[in-house]
Structure 1
Amino acid sequence: MLHFIVASHGPLATALISSANMVFGELSNTTAICLTEEGGIEQFKQDFHHEITAIAPNVDGIVVLCDLECGTPYNVACTYAFNPDFNPKVEVVTGVNFPTLLMTADFVEEKDASSVATTLQQEALKTVVVAKPVELAQEDDF
């Protein structure tokens, strides 16, 4: 089983999960960790450590969905992903969006965090589109 952590600057992570719960229903094995101005970087590091170490013994892998590459949430998540002594495997995917978060529901029962992270990245690319008008064909059936 996998666990998904959404990590962001400000309340984005919490808002994404709240919106997903409204549209999809409760996303199991999904939590939010937010970097706040009030708490700052040190509080975020503590919150992240508390959450990931509480989750780790109960899952096969953890996928962290971050809002921005090289920001604090990403950098903190990568310290776990790149630590060979941390178990289970942690994968970090950046550029989280609403459709990608909804896709995670299909992967909770998976065991391979690396494979799921790659799939989410590939599928996320398909979720960014430019809207164009659709031409409707006129039917001649009167």
Structure 2
Amino acid sequence: MLHFIVASHGPLATALISSANMVYGQLDNTTPICLTEEGGIEKFKQDFHQEISAIAPNVDGIVVLCDLECGTPYNVACTYAFNHKFITNVEVVTGVNFPTLLMTADFIEHNNASEVAETLRAEALNTVVVAKPVELVEEEDF
């Protein structure tokens, strides 16, 4: 089983999960961790460590969905992803968006975080579109 952490600057992670729960229903195995102005980087590091350490022993892998590459949530998540001594495989995907978060529901029962992270990345590319009018073809009446 996998666990998903949504990590963001500000309340974005919490808002995404709240919206997903409204649209999809309760997203199990999904946790928000937010970097706040009040808490700052050190509080975020503490919160992240506490959450990931509590989750890790109970799952096959963790996929962290971050808002921005090279930001604090990403950098902190990567310290776990690149630490070969950490007890659980951690994968980090940046550019989280609402459709990608909704897709995670299909992967909770999987056990390979690396494969799921790559699938989410590939599928996320299809979720960003530019709206274009659709031409309707009228059928001839007989």
Please give the TM-score of this superposition, normalised by the length of structure 1. 0.99
SS in structure 1 of the partner of residue 129 of structure 2: coil
CA distance in 2, matches of 1:123, 1:87: 28
Q: CA deviation at 1:79?
A: 0.2
Specify the alignment match of 1:74 in structure 2.
74
CA distance in 1, matches of 2:59, 2:140: 58
One-letter amino acid matched to 1:135: E
1: CA distance between counterparts of 2:138 and 2:111? 49
Instruction: Say which SS state the counterpart of residue 132 (structure 2) adopts.
Output: coil
Distance in 2 between residues matched to 1:118 and 1:138, nearest whole Å: 41
Unpaired stretches in structure 2, ≥5 consecutive residues:
none
Structure 1 stretches of at least 4 aligned residues deviating more than 4 Å after TM superposition: none
Structure 2 SS opposite 1:64? strand
Cα shift at 1:139: 2.1
Q: Which runs of no fewer than 5 residues in structure 1 stay unpaired?
A: none
Q: CA RMSD in A?
A: 0.7
What is the DSSP-based 3-state SS (H/G/I as helix, E as strand, rest coil) of the residue aligned with 2:127? coil
Tell me the residue number matched to 1:46.
46
Distance 1:124 1:62 in 2: 18
Rounded to whole Å, the distance in 1 between the matches of 2:43 and 2:64 is 18
User: What are the superposed Cα offsets for residues 114-134 of structure 1, whole Å, 9 maximum, x if unpaired?
Assistant: 000000000000000000000
Q: Which amino acid aligns with 1:61?
A: G
Q: 2: distance between equivalents of 1:103 and 1:45?
A: 27
Identity of aligned residues (%): 83
